[in-house]
Structure 1
Amino acid sequence: MSTKKELFKYIFSRLALLPIMLWLISSLVFILLRIAPGDPVDAILGTRANEFARESLRIKLGLDKPLISQYLEYLNNLIHGNLGISLNTQEPVKVIISKALPASIELAIFAILIASLVGYLIGFLGVIKPEGKIDFIGRIFGIGTYALPPFWAAMLIQIIFAVLLGWLPIGGRYPPGISVPHSVTGFLLLDSILDKNLEMIFSSFKHLILPSVTLGMLLSGIFSRSLRLNLEEVLKKNYIEAAKSRGISESRILIKHAFPNTLLPILTITGLTVSSLIGGALLIEITFSWPGIALGLQEAINQRDYPVVQGIVVTISSLVVMVSVGIDIAIAYIDPRVSY
């Protein structure tokens, strides 16, 4: 970005697109839910309910109004931060999201840490000795983890470490009957630390290991492949050849000259992966009975709970869009070569 003025214009243009993008996503969700087969009244009362009860519930839920009226009311509620009330539990959607979202974020953070540590280490070691044993194993590992079905990998890990070895719990966020600390941040592990509850710290960490390791290992192949390809491309640049001609050691060239120039694409991939994980770890959350936002979304879809589905999708979309915009702005600020 050549000047601060151009950077400011770019930031302003990106931020101005945020409400438009969110409006399009929200409208698309509204339309798809209305045209999808099934009736929320049937999901709540069942198909054997009499017509009077069905019609009374339809009026109570506002489903008797014209579609355009429902849409305008839906947009008005969104603008005022009102995500509605669950059709099944009569609980505010905000409350449902506030309970489930921290669990998904907690899982996503640990999964990204594992994916980054394993993936970038394998990718880095592969570049140091290309076409060697480590590089070959790293490539097989990257392809294998990317191709594995998440639900199959999750069940296999459960069978090995929870059923056969009995080292870790098979699922859930904490064992039944244990005293859960008062929620301060919503992150169970952090709340347990703040509460100085050693039993809960140990228990919540044990329950977090299997789902986070499973998700992290499945993502690590993307990270290792990304780092390796970007480092290979950078090592072919003229300034790298010039550094070699001056007698600089290969390890110094790799660490001081090549690696810093791969940080921008790595930052992009990491940021987008974090944002997508918040709502994209559905199969992992279902397999491990992890009470996150993805599991809540799946349950709401099955129950035809319009407000909950809309609220969760809008929340996830907002997070993904904001993270994407934040990454674009950070790249434009860090790299002066970037122009828009």
Structure 2
Amino acid sequence: MSSKNELFKYILARLALLPIMLWIISSMVFILLRIAPGDPVDAILGTRANELARESLRIKLGLNKPLINQYFEYLNHLIHGDLGTSLNTQEPVKEIISKSLPASIELAIFAILIASLLGYLIGFLGAVKPEGKIDFWGRIFSIGTYALPPFWAAMLIQIIFAVLLGWFPIGGRLSPGESPPPPVTGFLLLDSILIKNIKLIFSSINHLILPSFTLGILLSGIFSRSLRLNLEEVLKKDYIEAARSRGISNSRILVRHALPNTLLPILTITGLTVSSLIGGALLIEITFSWPGIALGLKEAISQRDYPVVQGIVIIISSLVVMISVGIDIAIAYIDPRVSY
């Protein structure tokens, strides 16, 4: 059997697992929300509402039905692409997600760019001269940024750059009084560029700098350490020693021979970090009042808004699973050493 046929079967097998994984995740979310303490009726009406009003609302929301009936209705709606309606605002969950998801993606993209540029640069420079000053301080930086509590780092950066120096706004995506551009893509910066509004472009960039810089700094240590460790392992290989014995310079060995062989694990880490950032920057979004999907998830959980929580978790899980499968397929396609 040819390698292409084996790769094709591997891709089909990975794609076939997608709906199974999403079904498991969606079922777990449904069950965990129902067994968790708290009642959405109490969150909407308060604990002092009379029993008649409570029962009427419970019937209206469908919470009076047996749990198994609720579950099958929930799956039926998911199969047809219906994420439901918010219990609190009666707004379709799709619309709630479509408003907040672009903000999280925008923040994640800029944070990854900062983390990649800074982290990979520090890791590469450390590998050029192992045990040197740059390598030593690079390791301190990697460990320090990884260990920093996100909320503490975010508040510290806010105090320094927004409060004391006044260089950047303390939070939000636009200044008070500024109206967002027509939502063509949902990405504030891109939509501002499309309508060529210079004021909105600079305002959106100005508001984006602090949260993306904070998140990028916190992630850069992971990227730096990952590249440094992978390069260190590759530089011990026999073919590297053979290249040195032929008189090839260390810089050329590092760039032409060692660095390309570290790209696959780096690709994996970067891809998974991007996918997890879309819903994982909760503390950053809260601290900077960034209206992303993580902040929306936090508010929905506090309000016991089942459909919104379920919809957000399913969308985030779908993105993470699809990116993970995409990375696995790309690695299997690029690297012939991967067995499938």
TM-score by length of 1: 0.99
Q: Which residue of 2 aligns with 1:222?
A: 222
Q: Which residue of 1 aligns with 2:24?
A: 24
Secondary structure of the residue that 2:291 maps to in structure 1?
coil
8 Å contact 1:2–1:336 — kept in the other structure?
no
Give me the identity figure in percent. 86
- Does residue 235 (structure 1) correspond to residue 235 (structure 2)? The answer is yes
Q: Which residue of 2 aligns with 1:96?
A: 96
After superposition, the C-alpha distances for 1:274-308 in whole angstroms (9 at most, x for unaligned) are 00000000000000000000000000000000000
- Does residue 63 (structure 1) correspond to residue 63 (structure 2)? The answer is yes
Shift of 1:179: 2.4
Measured in 1, the distance between the counterparts of 2:226 and 2:74 equals 41
Gaps of 5+ in 1: none
After superposition, the C-alpha distances for 1:149-207 in whole angstroms (9 at most, x for unaligned) are 00000000000000000000000011121121101110000000001000000000000
Q: Which residue of 1 aligns with 2:257?
A: 257
After superposition, the C-alpha distances for 1:200-251 in whole angstroms (9 at most, x for unaligned) are 0000000000000000000000000000000000000000000001111111
The residue correspondences of 1:88-127 to structure 2 (distance < 5 A) are: 88-127=88-127
Q: Which residue of 2 aligns with 1:315?
A: 315
Q: Which residue of 2 aligns with 1:159?
A: 159
The residue correspondences of 1:67-216 to structure 2 (distance < 5 A) are: 67-216=67-216
Count of residues paired in the alignment: 340
Measured in 1, the distance between the counterparts of 2:245 and 2:55 equals 82
Give the letter for the 1:47 counterpart.
T
Shift of 1:333: 0.5
8 Å contact 1:83–1:93 — kept in the other structure?
yes
After superposition, the C-alpha distances for 1:58-102 in whole angstroms (9 at most, x for unaligned) are 000000000000000000000000000000000000000000000
Relative to structure 1, the CA distance from residue 114 to residue 165 in structure 2 (aligned partners, 3 Å threshold; closer, same or farther) is same
Measured in 2, the distance between the counterparts of 1:167 and 1:107 equals 19
Q: Which residue of 1 aligns with 2:283?
A: 283
Give the letter for the 1:4 counterpart.
K
8 Å contact 1:2–1:339 — kept in the other structure?
no
Measured in 1, the distance between the counterparts of 2:137 and 2:190 equals 36
Give the letter for the 1:221 counterpart.
G
Secondary structure of the residue that 1:123 maps to in structure 2?
helix
Secondary structure of the residue that 1:85 maps to in structure 2?
coil
Measured in 2, the distance between the counterparts of 1:276 and 1:192 equals 27
Give the letter for the 2:183 counterpart.
S
Give the letter for the 1:150 counterpart.
P
Q: Which residue of 2 aligns with 1:248?
A: 248
After superposition, the C-alpha distances for 1:253-275 in whole angstroms (9 at most, x for unaligned) are 00000000000000000000000
- Does residue 301 (structure 1) correspond to residue 301 (structure 2)? The answer is yes
Measured in 1, the distance between the counterparts of 2:176 and 2:92 equals 25
Shift of 1:128: 0.6
Gaps of 5+ in 2: none
Give the letter for the 1:234 counterpart.
V
Secondary structure of the residue that 2:337 maps to in structure 1?
coil
8 Å contact 1:103–1:186 — kept in the other structure?
yes
The residue correspondences of 1:26-45 to structure 2 (distance < 5 A) are: 26-45=26-45
Shift of 1:2: 6.5
RMSD value over aligned CA atoms?
Answer: 0.8
Measured in 1, the distance between the counterparts of 2:47 and 2:237 equals 67
Measured in 2, the distance between the counterparts of 1:129 and 1:247 equals 18
Relative to structure 1, the CA distance from residue 2 to residue 328 in structure 2 (aligned partners, 3 Å threshold; closer, same or farther) is farther
Give the letter for the 1:301 counterpart.
I
Secondary structure of the residue that 2:262 maps to in structure 1?
helix
TM-score by length of 2: 0.99
Secondary structure of the residue that 1:304 maps to in structure 2?
coil
Measured in 1, the distance between the counterparts of 2:236 and 2:179 equals 57
Q: Which 4+ residue blocks in structure 1 deviate beyond 4 angstroms?
A: none
Measured in 2, the distance between the counterparts of 1:45 and 1:176 equals 32
